[in-house]
A and B are shown apart, each in its own frame.
Chain A
Amino acid sequence: MKNLKSITTAIILVCALMFSSCSKEFDEYSLNSNQPISVSPDLILRGVLNSLPVFPNSDEERWSQYTCRNYTYYGDNRYWTGAANLSYGTLNNIVAMETEAKKRTGSDLNVYSALSKYLRAYLFINMTLKVGDLPMTEALKKLANQKPKYDNQKQIFIQSFQLLEEANSQLASLISKSDVSLQGDIFYVERSSGAKSPLEALKSWQKVVNTFRLRSLIQLSNKSADGELKVKQQFNDIVSNPSKYPIMTSNSDNLEFVYNAVNNKYPDNKESFGFDALRFNLSATWVNNLASLNDIRVMKVAEPARGLGFSDTSFKSFVGAPSGIDLSTMAAGVQAGKFSLYNRKRYYDGFTAENTALLSYAEMCLNIAEGINRGWTSGSAEDWYTKGVKASFSFYGINDGDNTITFQRQGASILADYVNYTYKFNFNNYFSQPSVKYAGDGVNGLNQILIQKYVAMGRNSGLEGYYQWRRTGVPAFSQGTGSSASGKIPFRFQYPSSELSTNGENVKAAIQSQFGGADDIFAKLWLNN
C-alpha cells in the first residue's frame, strides 16, 4: 500500500500545481484579442453619422407618398402595423463617443461633445415624432436604471431645445478658438465631393443646429401658444439674431449624405435598374402636385407616362399613381404606361444620383416663411418662400432659361437609350402663376408654402413629408386599401413590443396617459392635438 500512498500524493501534487500556478496565463487567454475595448471618438462619430440618414427607396419615402411599389414580391405601399425603430442604440454610441472624447481630450468642451448635444436632440425629437412619450431623463443609464420612466412629449422637446442651445454655444466657442480637431464627419469633412475643412465643417454644424431647431419649432405649430415651450419666442430669437444663431445660407450648408460609386452607392443605380424597371413608380401626391404647378422639377424626377398619349414635355404626361390604390391596379396602370416612372437618367444612369438631405436650406427657407406666415416673427414670407423654391430648383440644377431634359427613348430596349429635350423654363413666369404667386400671410399662402416644402423634400428629409401631412393635412394624402387593410393612414408607431416585457409598467403608464390604454397606431400624438 506504500505505492498507493505515493501515487495519491503525486496526484494531489498535480492538482495543486494545476489550479494554482497559472492564473496569469488564464487571464491572458480569457481576453478577446479580436475587438478593441476603447477607440477614438472619430470612429464612433463616423458610425453614428452613417446611421442617421433615411436612405431613398425606403418605406419612409413611400409613407411620405413620394414613390410607390407596384409589385407584391418586394413589398407594398401599406403603412406600418407595428412598432417604430428607435435610436437608443445610436444614442448609446453617442454616450460612448462623449466618454472616449473626454478620456482623450481631458475636457468637457470638445467637438464631439458639442456634436453629441445636437445629435441627442436630433434623435430624441425624431423618436418622439414617431411614438410619443419616451424615456429621456432616465434613459441611457445602462444597468444603472433598467426601467427608465417615460418623459412626456413636451418635456422631450423642452430638454431637446436646451441641448440645442448648449450645442450652439459650445460650437460657437470652439469656432472662436479655431478648433480643427474634427474627424469622422462624413457629412462635411469626409464627404466624397464638396468636402470642407474641419473648421468650416464646425461652422456648418452650428448652422445645422439652429436650422434643425427651426424645423422642430415648426413641428410644434399646434402648440405655439404653450407658455413653457415658448415656440414663437425661440423662433423669433433665432431668425432675428443670425450672429448668435447662424442658420444655413445656401444649399452648400445642407446636411446631406453624398454617394460614391464604390462603397456608398445611391440605392437606385444602373445595377438595380433591372430589378426596378417597372416595379417602382412615382406617387400622385408628389408628381401631380408638381405637374399642376407646371413645375419643371417633375421632368427631372419622372419619366413621361407615355400610355396617356401626350407629348413627352407636356405636363399632362406626368401622372403619379395614388399611393392608396391596390397594388394590382397600380401594376396594371404601370404595365399600360399610365403612371410616371422614376426618371431613368437621374436615378439609374450612374451610382450617385443625387445627395440625400437630412436637413436642407430649401426646407429652412420654407420653414421661416411658414413661421412668418403664422406671425411668429417678422419679415417677408414671400422672400423666404421664393428663396426656398429657388434653392430646390438649384438642387435639381434648373436654370432660368434653357434646360436639358432627358428621358428614356420610347420603345428603347436598353437603359441608356435616351432622348434629350431643351425646355425653356422662366422663373418669373413660374412665380407669377396664380397657383405659385404667394397669396399673402393667411391660409392660402400657408398652403402654398406647405406644398412647396413638401415637393422640395421629395425623396429626402426622412419622414418630414409625412409629418407635415400629419400636422397640417397638406398636401392631401391618398388613402385606400393600398394604404392599410382599413384604408386609413396611421398617425403614429407602436412602442417596441420588447418594452412590454422589459419595462412594462412604465410603457403602460405612458400608453395610458396618452392614449387611454391602447397602443393604437391611429391615435393622435400630443403635438398633433
Chain B
Amino acid sequence: MKMLTSKWVFTLLLMLGMAMPYLAGAQRTISGKIMAAENGQAISGASILIKGTKTGTMSTPEGLFSINAKEGDVIVISGVGIKTLDYKITGTGLQVITVDANTKDLNEVVVTGLGIKKETKRLGYAVQEIKGSDLVKAREPNPINSLVGKVAGLQVNVNQELLGAPAVSLRGSNISLYVVDGMPINSDTWNLSPDDIESYTILKGLAATAIYGSRAQNGAIIITTKRGSKNKKGYSVEFNSSTQVNKGFIALPRTQDLYGGGDYSEYAFGDGKGGGINDGDYDVWGPKFNGQLVPQYDSPIDPITGKRTGTPFVARGKDNLKRFLQAGLLTTNNLSFSSTTDRSSIRMSMSQSYQKGIVPNTKLNTANFNVSASYDLTKNLKLEGSLNYNHQFTPNFPDVNYGPNSIIYNITIWTGADWDVQSPDIKGVWQPGRVGTQSIFAEYQRYHNPWFMSNYWLRGHYKNDVYGTLGMTYKINKDFEAVVRTNVSTFDVLRSEKMPYSAHPYGREGGRGDYREDRRGLFDNNVEGILKFKKSLPGGINIDAIAGGNLRNFSYNSTYVTTDYLNVPGLYSFGNSLNPVKAYSYTANMLVLSNYYSASIDFNKYFSLTGSARIDKHSAQPSNNNSYFYPSVSGATVISDYVKMPSFVSFLKLRGSFALAKSPSTTPYIGVPPGTPLPYGSNYVSTYGGPTYALASPAYSIGSVYNNLTGAYAPSSALDSNTQVSKTSSREAGLDIKFLKNRLGFSATAFSNILGPSIRNYPISQTTGISGYTTNAIKTQVTGLELSLQGTPIQQKDLSWNVLVNWSTFKEVYKDLPSNFESYQFKQGDRVDKLYGTLIARTPDGKMINDANGYPIMLPKAQYLGNADVKFSWSIYNRVTYKSLSVGFQFDGMVGGYIQDYVKRKGVEGGRDISTVQGKIGEAREYEFLNFKTPGYAGYYVGDGVQISNGVGAKFDPVTGVITNMNDLQFKQNASKVNWIQDYVSYVFNKPEYTSIAKTYGKLREVVITYSLPQKMLDKSFISKIDISLVGRNLLYFFPKEFKDLDVDQYSGRTIYSGNNRENGLQTPTTRSYGLNINLTF
C-alpha cells in the first residue's frame, strides 16, 4: 500500500513538473484582485478585457487575475452580478479593484461539484443554495437541523434528542456525503461548525453529483467555509453569541392520574419483585386513588409481622414527567479573526457550544477550532490549507430507546401517579443503608427511579473529529490550472456506559452493574490531482473542463467491550468484571482509485452542455468486477436570452440531465461489531462509508454458545461471483422562470430515478439449506416533483418583503421485482413503503366481528394500512425588512404518510394513556374497581360490533388472512361482557386502527427579529457592525391533540419503515426554544 501511495504522489508531482517550464517562461504581467465594494469578498469569474483589444482573462475563485498590460491601460471589468467598470491601471503592483454589485442582474453563482463555481443559469440541474449567515441566529444544536424547509425536496428529520443526529434525505434516499471546500469528509453532522460556513449548496440530482462518485449517489451537501477577508483596517474580527432556553412543551404525552400501578384493580407492595400482589413489572391498571390503605413501597413495616402496613393510596405523583424535566439551555459563542493581504489570507475561528438537556444531568459540549489559510508563493502558485478540529463530549446523555433504560418508559408509560418524583426519598435515590448498591423506587423488577437513572446510570460520548486539507494550485498558463491536494477526515469516538448496581434493564436482571466501552476509529484520506482548462473561443463558445485522479485510502476499526456484571459496586473498569469480560471487534480497510473528467461548453447565449465521466476501481467489489464507469450529461438553455418574451417574463430557462451512477458494496453507517449482544438501548450508529463484505466469500459467524464456549454457524447465503455494482439512473427536467423584472421567480424540477438492479440477497427456497444468494436484483423507480417560488412582493427604499415557498413530493415503486421477492404484501408495481399490521375482522359495513367472549377477531395475517412516505412537504419563509429591523419567520410541514404512535400504543396497553379513563372505558374501569370482588361479578364493558349468530366459523384465506366466507356468516349485536377492561383495551385499542395517524402537521419553525444598529452610530467606534436578534424555534405545532405526544419532526422525512415495521421509537417531549443572538463585527 505504501508503495502504491508514493507511486501515485510521485506521478502527480511528475505531472506538475512537466508543466513547470512553460510557467516559468510566461511573460511578466499585471496582477490584480477584484473585490466586492459591499463586503470585500472576492469576485470570481469576472471578465477582464483591455479596452479596445481582444486581450482578456478571467478572475480566479479568489478574485485574482493577471494580464499582459502596461501602466495606464484601461481594463474593462464585467461579469455576472457586478456593474461593468472601466479601471485604469496605476503602477505595476497588485491592482486592488472594488466593484459594485449589479442588483438587477440575478445571475447567481453557485458552488458545484469539486468546489467549482458556476453560474446558475448555465446549470442543467437543480441546485439550491443557503447562506450560512441565515442559519446561525435561530440556532439548532445541530447545524443541519437548520436546513429544514429551506430547500425543496430536502427532508431533514429534526431530532431533538440530545446528540440525536438528523436523518437527511433527498428524493427518498439518505444523503451521507458532506463536501467541505471541494473535499468529501466523513460527517455525523455534529462536526460542522455553523459559524464557519459561508454557504450550503444542496446538489440534488445525480448529474450534479456524478463527479463525486457513489458516495454522492443520493445527493450531497456542499459546504463552503468562510475565508479570510478584510475591511479598511486590514483585518476583521467577528463575534457571535447565542443563548436559547428550551421551555414549554409542544409535544407531551397525556396521562391519567386516577388509577395507580397494578393489574386488574389490585395492587399491594411486597418486595416490588412479584412477592406482593401485582407488584412487579405491573401495568397502570391498579386500584383507583381513593385514599384507601394499600401497602406501598414506602409504607411502614410492622415490626411483628415484618410486612408493610397500608398507607393511603393517593395520586401524589401527578404530572411526574413534567415535574422531572427541566428547562434546557443552548449557548454558543464564536470568535473569528480574518485577514487578507495581496498574497495571503487567513481565518481562524473558535466555537464553543454548551447544551443542557431537558432531562436532568444531561448535557453536551462541543468545541470547534478552525483555521484556513492561503498563500501565493508566486503569482502562479498558490498554497491553501485548512484544518477543523471538533471535540464533542458529554459525561451523560439520555437513552430514549423503549425499555427500562428510558425515562419515558419508566415515568409516562408503565408507572402511575402513586409515587412522587419530587419526594425526598425518591430524589435521594438510594435505600437507607444501601447507598451505591440498591436504589429506591416503587417497583424493583422492571422499572427505575428516574433520578437514579439520570444521576448514576451514565452514558458518555467523547469524540475527536478532525478534517483538513492541504493543496496547491498552479496556474500553468491562461488556460490551464493544476491542483494537487490531499485531505484527511478522521475521528475517534468513545461511548461509555456506567450501569450501577440495582439497575436491571432487559437481559441484565441480575442487577449487579456493568461497564461498557464502544470505541471506533476511522481514517479516510484522499489524494487528488486535477487539471483545469478554461477557454473562450471565438463565436461565444466557452469551454470549462477538468480531468482528475483520486486515490482514497480508508480504514476503520472498532471494539465493543463489556463486563458481565461487576464485583465492586461503582467501580467501572473491565478488571472489575464478575464473569469473563466480553469483547467484540471489527476491522475494515478499503482502497479506491478514481479518474474523472468533466467538460462544460457554452454555445454562445443559446445553450450550455456539461458532460462528466468517472471511473472507479474499488476494493469493496470482487476483483473480477471492481472497475466501473459512470457518465452524466446535462444541458441548459436560457430561452429569454435569444427569444423575445412577453414583457412580464424577464427570464426563462429550460434544463435537463441524465446520469448513470454505480455504487459498490459499501454502507454509509455502521453499528457495533457484528455479534455484539445489545440486550437493551440503542445500537449507536456512526458514519462509516466502508465495505459491507457482502461480496466477500460467505463466512462463518462465531459466537458464544454454551457456557462461554464458542460455536460457529455456516453462512446462510451464497454469492453470485458475477455480481456487479449497483446501478442508479436519473433523469431530470426543469424550468426556471422569472417575472416582473425578476420580482417573482418560479422553479420546477421533475425527476425520475431508476434505482437498481442493486446488490441484493436473492431469496431461494430455505429447503436448499440457504436462504438466498447475493446478486443483482430489484429495480425501483422514484418519481417526484419539486417546486420553489421566490418573490419580493414589496421592495421600497425602507421596506421590503421577501417570500420563499418550497413544495415537493415523491414516490417509489417496485419497477422490477422478481417473483422470488414477491409476497402477498408486495408485488411488482407496488409502492415500496406500504405498511402492514394487524386489523380487526369487520363486516362489509365496517362493524367489528367479535368472538363468543365479546373480543374482536383479529385477521390472522397482517393487512395493508397505508403508505409510510408523506404525500408532500411544504414550507413558507418570509422576511420583512424595515430600515434596520428585519423579521423572518418560517412555517413548514407535510401532508400524509402513515405512522403508528409508539408512546400512545404502549400508553394504552399500560393503562396510563388518558384515553383509558375516558368515556365507556373509563366507566368500565370505575365499575370494575368498585365491584371486582363482588360475588357474581361479570364485568361491565360490552365492545362495539357484532357476533356471529348462525354458528358458522369465519374462514380465512391461508395466504392473505381475509375472511373468505363472509356471505355464510350471519350477525347479531355483540352482547358479551368483557371480564376485564384491561385485557380488552390492551388487546383492541393498541392496534394500528386506534394508535396510528397520518403525519400531516404544520409548524411555526422559526422566528428571527433582528435589529442592526445603524451604520452612522458605529462610524466613530471600533465596531463596524452590531446585529441583535430575538429568536424562537419550534414555536407552534399543529397536530391532532390526542396524538400530541408525537413530535413528527423526527419522522418527517423518508422513514425506513415498510412492511410490518411501521413504528417509530419513543421520544422525549419536545419544547419550544427562545433566545437572543448578538453578532458583532470589529
Q: Which residues of A contact B (CB under 8 A)?
A: 2-4, 6-7, 10-11, 13-15, 17-19, 21-23, 25-27, 29-39, 43-44, 46-47, 50, 71-73, 81-82, 86, 88-89, 91-93, 95-96, 134-135, 139-143, 145-148, 184, 186, 190, 192, 260, 262-264, 271-278, 326-329, 331-332, 335, 412-415, 417, 481, 485-488, 494, 496-504, 518-521
Contacts and interface: CB of A to CB of B under 8 A. Distances in A.
A331 to B, nearest CB: 6
A262 B579 contact: yes
B768 A43 contact: no
Per CB-CB distance, the 4 closest pairs between chain A and chain B, nearest first, are: A274-B280, A274-B445, A413-B270, A277-B274
Contact of B587 (A34, A39, A192): A34
Contacts of B764: 143, 146, 502-503
Contacts of B860: 81-82, 485
Given A34-B587, A72-B987, A275-B280, A186 B8 contact: no
B623 A273 contact: no
A491 B304 CA distance: 57
A38 B697 CA distance: 11
A113 to B, nearest CB: 16
A326 to B, nearest CB: 4
Given A413-B307, A415-B273, A93 B713 contact: yes
Contacts of B953: 485-486, 488
Contact of B702 (A35, A141, A518): A35
A88 B767 CA distance: 6
A47 B591 contact: no
B855 interface: yes
A196 B204 CA distance: 67
B767 A414 contact: no
B714 A96 contact: yes
A57 to B, nearest CB: 14
A11 B698 contact: no
Nearest to B819: A501
B986 interface: yes
Interface in B275-303: 275-281, 283, 295
A13 B589 contact: no
A34 B694 CA distance: 12
Contacts of B820: 501-502
A27 B765 contact: no
A37 B699 contact: yes
13 contacts: A6-B18, A18-B617, A30-B696, A34-B587, A46-B705, A46-B709, A47-B713, A50-B711, A89-B771, A135-B767, A264-B706, A329-B979, A413-B271
B620 A3 contact: no
Contact of A32 (B1, B274, B693): B693
A209 B13 CA distance: 73
A39 B622 CA distance: 23
A125 to B, nearest CB: 16
Nearest to B856: A485
B765 A43 contact: no
Nearest to B983: A328
Contact of A72 (B476, B710, B986): B986
A128 B617 CA distance: 49
Contact of A10 (B15, B712, B822): B15
Contacts of A264: 706-707
Given A29-B619, A35-B702, A275-B274, A14 B15 contact: yes
Given A7-B531, A328-B983, A414-B270, A142 B769 contact: yes
Interface string B842-853: 000000000111
Contacts of A498: 763, 765-766, 823
Given A328-B979, A413-B276, A7 B716 contact: no
Nearest to A330: B979
Nearest to B772: A502
Most buried by A among B274, B852, B853: B274
B773 interface: yes
A418 to B, nearest CB: 12
Nearest to A27: B623
Interface in B805-860: 819-824, 851-853, 855, 857-858, 860
B768 A141 contact: yes
Given A264-B706, A328-B983, A4 B480 contact: yes
Contacts of B987: 72
Interface string B968-1004: 0000000000111001101100000000000000000
B244 to A, nearest CB: 41
A285 B237 CA distance: 84
Given A36-B699, A275-B445, A25 B705 contact: no
Contacts of B12: 14
B465 interface: no
Contacts of B7: 17, 21
B127 interface: no
Nearest to A139: B767
A146 B549 contact: no
B266 A335 contact: yes
Nearest to A413: B270
A191 to B, nearest CB: 8
B826 to A, nearest CB: 10
A450 B987 CA distance: 37
A332 B934 CA distance: 12
Nearest to A351: B510
A328 B822 contact: no
Contacts of A37: 697-700
B158 to A, nearest CB: 33
A116 to B, nearest CB: 13
Given A273-B274, A275-B280, A7 B529 contact: no
B980 A332 contact: yes
Most interface-central of B585, B765, B860 (chain A CB within 10 A): B765
Nearest to B20: A3
B435 interface: no
Contact of B622 (A14, A30, A329, A488): A30
Nearest to A485: B857
B626 interface: yes
B365 interface: no
Contacts of B978: 328
Given A21-B7, A140-B768, A413-B270, A33 B19 contact: no
B529 A26 contact: no
A91 B716 CA distance: 11
Contacts of B714: 44, 92-93, 95-96
B593 interface: yes
A186 B4 contact: no
Contacts of B821: 501
A262 B277 CA distance: 29
B765 A503 contact: yes
A518 B964 CA distance: 13
Contacts of B708: 262-263
B271 A88 contact: no
Interface in B757-778: 763-771, 773
A30 B619 contact: yes
Given A3-B19, A22-B593, A276-B274, 7 more contacts: A31-B697, A43-B702, A89-B769, A142-B768, A263-B704, A273-B280, A519-B959
Contacts of A147: 765
B487 interface: no
B621 interface: yes
B445 A3 contact: no
A521 B691 CA distance: 44
A123 B32 CA distance: 84
B444 A35 contact: no
Contacts of A503: 764-765, 767
A337 B446 CA distance: 24
A32 B693 CA distance: 6
Contacts of A93: 713-714
